[in-house]
Structure 1
Amino acid sequence: MIKTLFVLCAAVATPVTLATAVQQPDSQIFVPAGTFHGEVEGPDTDSAGNLYAVNFGGASDEHKGSIGKVTPDGKANLYLRLPAGSTGNGIQMDAQGVMWIADYTGHQIWRYTNGTLTSFVHEAKMHQPNDLALTKAGVIFASDPDWKNSKGQLWRISADGKAALIDQTGTSNGVEVSPDQHWLYVNESAQRKVWAYPLNDQLETGAKRLLIEFADFGLDGMRCDSNGNLYIARYGKGTVVKLSPAGAVLKEFNLHGQFPTNVALSPDERFLYVTMQRDGSIERIALR
């Protein structure tokens, strides 16, 4: 999540400098501008290839707090509306088809399944739960940025819904678990760093190490493919960078827009979906 360009500044405390060189986009416009609110975020796909993202319906703030569903052929409709006072950010679908939603204004994590929405975690000490990473064992990791102070927190939520603060960070934003469940990745938007935490068999974190640090532009949502490569939205640069598990830059994909907020892979990993702040569109990158 990146809330404004100057005050929160994508993920930095100074104005964003836009990329000056015009590059041919590697993406196509999958969902046109205006379909979602300008604060579109949190994409993920289900096993059938449907895509979900928050703040569906247009530019008006009355659409915030909604979740839209986009079919594989690009048809978008309202899927769910959260209770008053709640606004979704990160979304994750688990293997059973349960949707988990980080509610940054309500300071909680929602669980939605079979038409029933329940509060799984409510933690008053959270600044604003932002992005989620699910594990195969049911443990959830949540980033929790404090945009005003360029700081953040990292939470571990057990399968029975108990939240434990595991680290004080920079402006924590994107969060992801490697497919082998051995690493937790967390990026810091203002500091432009990506950290790797080792995970033991109980999915407890060890001492983190710096995976990569960028010299410019913000970092937002990120996801791993089945090979462990990371795809990270570069806010203000208008790209998505692909990293190897060792932190090497493998490729950078150019987008139509400058302000990508988050990414999601299709179930077959043929496509990468990118939510775009400001115009409420979703772009799609063909990976193969």
Structure 2
Amino acid sequence: MATSAWAEPKLFESRQVTPAGEYTFGIEGPAADIDGNLFVVNLGKPGTIGKLAVGSAQSEKFISLPEGSVGNAIRFDRDGTMFIADYKKHNIFAIRKGSLEPEVYFHSEQMNQPNDLTIASGGTIYASDPNWKAHAGQIWRISKGTDGQVQGKVMTASRAMGTTNGIDLSPDGKTLYVGESLTGQLWAYTISGNELTSAQLLKTFEPDTIDGLRTDVDGKLLIARIQKGTISVMDPDSKLIQDVVLQGKEPTNLAFGGADGRTVFVTQRQGGYIEGFRTDKEGREHCLQKGNC
């Protein structure tokens, strides 16, 4: 059963927020706007986006994407624009604040399937792009040029990447964290223009046990441990602080939300619902939307 009232729980104590079965097996891409509303892909059927309004215990339909498009990740920039990775049609959609109309912000047939996104304070988007069959992947850097036109390039890296999946930035925007699902490896890169340098292997988990990830304002990393039923919390020096035990065993991704950015919402493939827990620090993305990061 979903919990209808959100009384202040203990920190890192997760509980179910929405009813089971709301979302498909493809439940993914949670992101919260500055008002605290949570958005998640694939409500009821592929190609939709659900909205969990502030204080609600049940999702409602927000929009349907254009025919044939299916979302996998959602992120918000500091202006409140929602960006959606469409892995089927190789698009990055943008929905301006107050609008219900997705616009194609970027498209490339060179993409394998845009998977997860993260956004820097200046608006640059970094997108993971795995090739599951080849056990390989890449990262796209998508930004506006001096002429205002959106440009996207595959970033060069100092090593051959595996199946790139979860992705986020450090609070200062200088480090990009990338999870590689099949190997269970978590890597950190220094961003230098369109190059990813100084590759550092932070942690090797069991194969096929990491999915989405997020950072908080202190630089801690929270990693969805799919098949393990936990969110692993690590400090920036790769020390494992704790594992937050979840209600379900198949967390696909997570997002910071709530009024103070300290509620972590987790998408659960097992059961097709959202669960959540309180944490000690605000999420980087929430801070970014407030204009403080």
Q: TM-score, normalised by structure 2?
A: 0.84
Q: Superposed, which structure 2 residues align to 1:18-37 within 5 Å?
A: 26-37=13-24
Separation in structure 1 between the aligned mates of residue 83 and residue 272 of structure 2, nearest angstrom: 22
Q: Superposed, which structure 2 residues align to 1:24-173 within 5 Å?
A: 26-57=13-44, 63-73=45-55, 74-113=57-96, 114-159=99-144, 160-166=149-155, 167=157, 168-173=160-165
Q: Superposed, which structure 2 residues align to 1:113-262 within 5 Å?
A: 113=96, 114-159=99-144, 160-166=149-155, 167=157, 168-200=160-192, 202=193, 204-262=195-253
Shift of 1:216: 4.7
Shift of 1:151: 1.4
Q: CA offsets, 1:199-249, max 9 Å, x none?
A: 24x575323211111135511000111111111100100111011111111
Q: Which runs of 4+ in 1 moved over 4 A?
A: none
Secondary structure of the 2:123 match is: coil
For structure 1, the 5+ residue unaligned runs are 1-24, 58-62
Separation in structure 2 between the aligned mates of residue 203 and residue 155 of structure 1, nearest angstrom: 9
The answer on whether the counterparts of 2:222 and 2:234 sit within 8 Å (CA) in structure 1 is: yes
Q: TM-score, normalised by structure 1?
A: 0.85
Q: CA offsets, 1:54-87, max 9 Å, x none?
A: 0012xxxxx1000001012133110011001100
For structure 2, the 5+ residue unaligned runs are 1-11, 281-293
Identity, in percent, stands at: 39
The answer on whether the counterparts of 1:217 and 1:237 sit within 8 Å (CA) in structure 2 is: no
Q: Give the alignment's Cα RMSD to 1 decimal.
A: 1.6
Secondary structure of the 1:237 match is: coil
Separation in structure 1 between the aligned mates of residue 264 and residue 222 of structure 2, nearest angstrom: 9
Give the paired residue count: 258
Separation in structure 1 between the aligned mates of residue 185 and residue 217 of structure 2, nearest angstrom: 23
- Pair 1:104–1:217, CA change in 2 (3 A): closer
Matching residue's letter, 2:64: R
